[in-house]
Structure 1
Amino acid sequence: MHIVADENIPLLDEFMSGFGRVTRLPGREIDASSVRHADVLLVRSVTQVSAAMLAGSSVRFVGTCTIGTDHLDLHGLAKAGICVASAPGCNARGVVEYVLSCLLAFSERTGIDWQQQVVGIIGAGQVGGRLARTLRQLGVECRLCDPPQSEQESGYVDLDTLIERADVISCHVPLTDSGRYPTRYLFDADCLARLRPGAWLINSSRGPVIDNQALKSLLERRDDLQVALDVWEHEPRVDPELASLCALATPHIAGYSLDGKLRGTEQIYQALCRFFGEKIAIRLEDIAPSQGSGELSVSAATPREWLLARALRLVYDVRDDDARFRAMLGKAESDSDIRSGFDLLRKHYPLRRENSFYRVNTDAPMERAVTTRLAAAGFKP
């Protein structure tokens, strides 16, 4: 069996070599000629996979080690009889921690306590639902907007109400162009114009969920808004002018924790086993690097209201990714430089573990309320 895979998928050999030969390629270079003699194709979000691309090949299984599937022609692949698998929820925790870091950064920039803000979450699936649970456990008021979910259960608000009442809006929807609730340009010029004064807007879902040109026009007129973009229209080609207007700009790395990537590989391995009727013989905990836990030391003298923020920043600080991204954009002399720089930042992304890998230690016993908040943020007890 021949497997063609994105070179950025971790633990490929450990999980997949038992099935046959593995060929690694840059995700954006995988095309029809690359898969002509392949039986399995494994990708991440940068590879567009259509039935036409696989026509004439031996590919019977396509797995994406990501939550999203908008880069896959699901209808065409199903019609061609090709099995498709994704990894729902694999990087949800990483995205939640990205959003928390954005909130900390915005709080510092504006002097507004992020824990007193009303957070509106659009999309209550794997990521949005987990973000809501985490924030509510931390005492933050949340409003959820998810039209498909609202047809099944109560507790949701519509988009207009969310825009009107939320101080913070975080987007966690798939990119869709059809159906009753398309999300492309969900935030068009009209929606963007209705953002509350001083609103914070975070998009870590898909770039075209927000009309980027309309957003740029808005930010040129309103300096009261705080915007964090991790995803962009036409990426890896990024509009440097829009990036310069954002408070935080990052290269589609919100869910790029090592833990999330590894979970994605494991989920696709399990799906491949099921497809071929093979026994699941490999477990992530048996082969993952750096198993165990890390220790974070924070002085007990740290004011209790700062301790959570200190711990979160020791694990992940979005401002580091923002700085690297802006440095790349500042050196780029062409669109080609931006495209290659965008991909290189992702390919050589620094090791990042999730909060659950760490235990927070202080030089004196912590109050129960503090340990409860740390646990709510995902830290080991």
Structure 2
Amino acid sequence: MLIVADENIPLLDSFFGDIGEIRRVNGRTLTRDEVQDADVLLVRSVTRVDRALLEGSRVRFVGTATIGTDHVDQGWLQEQGIGFAAAPGCNAVSVAEYVLSVLSLHAEHRGLADWSSQTIGIVGVGNVGGELARMLQRLDFTVKLCDPPRQDAEPEQTDAFVSLAEVLECDVVTLHTPLTRAGAYPTHRMIAAKELAMMGPDQLLINAGRGEVIDGEALLEQLRQTDAPTVALDVWEHEPNIKPDLVDRVWLATPHIAGYSLEGKMQGTEMIYQALCRYLGLPVRKKSGQFLPEPALSKVSFTSSADENEAVQVALRACYDPRRDDARLRLSMSGNPEDRARAFDQLRRDYPVRRECSSLKVQLKGSSKSLQDSFRSIGFKLKI
């Protein structure tokens, strides 16, 4: 059995080496010829999987190690009898922690003594948005949820959701929707000139979902105004050909890595491994946890004199500080468009190891129950 796989999917040999021969490919430039003799195709979001790529090939199973599926023509795969699996929720914790770190920096940027005084509007309450909402609510943030498809599907929970207009009044608006172009609630360019004009300079807009959910041209025009909101983007229209002018204008810019924790990546691989095993009728023998290495930073300690807000944010940023990714992306924006596109992909391909908060043990000496609860809410391991 030949398995053609994106070279950037981690642990390919560990999970799939005893199932078949593995051929690694560049997912961004994958061609029909490279996949014609494959039995299994494993991809990430940079590969468009459809009739143009697979017609006439031997492929009988496609797995994407991502939560999003808008790059895969699932209807065509189903018509051809080709098995398909994604990895929904694999990096939900990673993205939620990314947003928490951004919120921490934004509170510092605005001089807020209590970061939980910010009201947070979450647009898209699936695996990622739901995980983020749970963390924020446990941390005593005021959270408003907007998800019209869920609101329609869960009429008994209708009071739990608000309109997009109401969410856009929050101190922070963070986007976690899939990219859809059809149906009752398409998300393609859902945030355009009208919506951006509703936000002011004291607000923060975060997009760690899909780049095309925001109209990039409208955003750039809005950011040229003096009353524009603060913006943090992890995802961009037309990746990897992102606009350097937009990078210059946003407050925080990262190269589509919000979900790039080691745990998130490995869970994505594990989920498509499990799906392939089920498809082939093979026993599932491996779990991502058995391959996790020891973290570079394993322990931090706080005494009874630690300020609660500061302690939580110090530990959070010790695990992940988005300013490092921001600096790397801005440094990559020189040169011609081809150079910039290659640099964007390289930042993702060569991304340094990043661990989730669950990898860090926090020792608390004489701490309050409130501080303990805050650390537990994020997922840190506690030693009291």
TM-superposed CA distance for 1:282, in Å, is: 1.5
Cα distance change, pair 56–89 in 1 and its aligned pair in 2 (3 A): same
CA deviation string 1:262-283 (max 9, x = no partner): 0000000000000011111122
Are 2:361 and 1:356 equivalent residues in the alignment?
A: no
The answer to whether the 8 Å contact 1:123/1:146 transfers is: yes
In structure 2, the partner of 1:156 is 161
TM-superposed CA distance for 1:287, in Å, is: 2.9
CA deviation string 1:115-166 (max 9, x = no partner): 1111000001000001001000000000000001111122101111221x31
TM-superposed CA distance for 1:312, in Å, is: 0.5
In structure 1, the partner of 2:126 is 125
CA distance in 2, matches of 1:37, 1:228: 42
The answer to whether the 8 Å contact 2:295/2:355 transfers is: no
Cα distance change, pair 280–300 in 1 and its aligned pair in 2 (3 A): same
SS of residue paired to 1:18: coil
TM-superposed CA distance for 1:197, in Å, is: 4.3
CA distance in 2, matches of 1:250, 1:100: 15
CA distance in 2, matches of 1:326, 1:341: 10
CA distance in 1, matches of 2:301, 2:31: 48
SS of residue paired to 2:186: coil
TM-superposed CA distance for 1:233, in Å, is: 0.4
TM-superposed CA distance for 1:95, in Å, is: 0.2
Select the residue among 339, 342, 356 that pairs with 1:340.
342
CA distance in 1, matches of 2:251, 2:298: 31
The answer to whether the 8 Å contact 2:201/2:227 transfers is: no
SS of residue paired to 1:142: strand
Number of aligned residue pairs: give it. Answer: 377
Letter matched to residue 334 of structure 1: N
User: Structure 1 stretches of 5 or more lacking a match?
Assistant: none
In structure 2, the partner of 1:70 is 70
In structure 2, the partner of 1:319 is 323
In structure 2, the partner of 1:135 is 136
In structure 2, the partner of 1:271 is 275
In structure 1, the partner of 2:203 is 199
Select the residue among 285, 289, 292 that pairs with 2:289.
285
Shifted more, 366-375 versus 92-101: the winner is: 366-375
Query: RMSD across aligned C-alpha pairs, in angstroms?
Result: 1.5
TM-superposed CA distance for 1:78, in Å, is: 1.4
CA distance in 2, matches of 1:7, 1:119: 37
Letter matched to residue 71 of structure 1: H
Letter matched to residue 165 of structure 2: D
Letter matched to residue 365 of structure 1: G
SS of residue paired to 1:19: coil
The answer to whether the 8 Å contact 1:292/1:357 transfers is: no
Are 2:30 and 1:30 equivalent residues in the alignment?
A: yes
Are 2:310 and 1:310 equivalent residues in the alignment?
A: no
The answer to whether the 8 Å contact 1:167/1:196 transfers is: no
TM-score (norm 1): 0.96
In structure 2, the partner of 1:249 is 253
Are 2:184 and 1:180 equivalent residues in the alignment?
A: yes
The answer to whether the 8 Å contact 2:200/2:228 transfers is: no
Shifted more, 153-162 versus 225-234: the winner is: 153-162
SS of residue paired to 1:308: helix
TM-superposed CA distance for 1:19, in Å, is: 1.1
CA distance in 2, matches of 1:199, 1:286: 42
TM-superposed CA distance for 1:175, in Å, is: 0.3
The answer to whether the 8 Å contact 2:30/2:47 transfers is: yes
CA distance in 2, matches of 1:74, 1:159: 29
In structure 2, the partner of 1:6 is 6
CA distance in 1, matches of 2:26, 2:149: 36
Letter matched to residue 167 of structure 2: L
Letter matched to residue 216 of structure 1: L
CA distance in 2, matches of 1:296, 1:328: 33
In structure 2, the partner of 1:101 is 101
The answer to whether the 8 Å contact 1:106/1:226 transfers is: no
TM-score (norm 2): 0.95
SS of residue paired to 1:282: coil
CA deviation string 1:298-349 (max 9, x = no partner): 45433222110111011100111101111111xx211011100001111111
CA distance in 2, matches of 1:172, 1:380: 27
Are 2:235 and 1:231 equivalent residues in the alignment?
A: yes
CA distance in 1, matches of 2:116, 2:277: 44
Cα distance change, pair 368–133 in 1 and its aligned pair in 2 (3 A): same
Cα distance change, pair 49–40 in 1 and its aligned pair in 2 (3 A): same
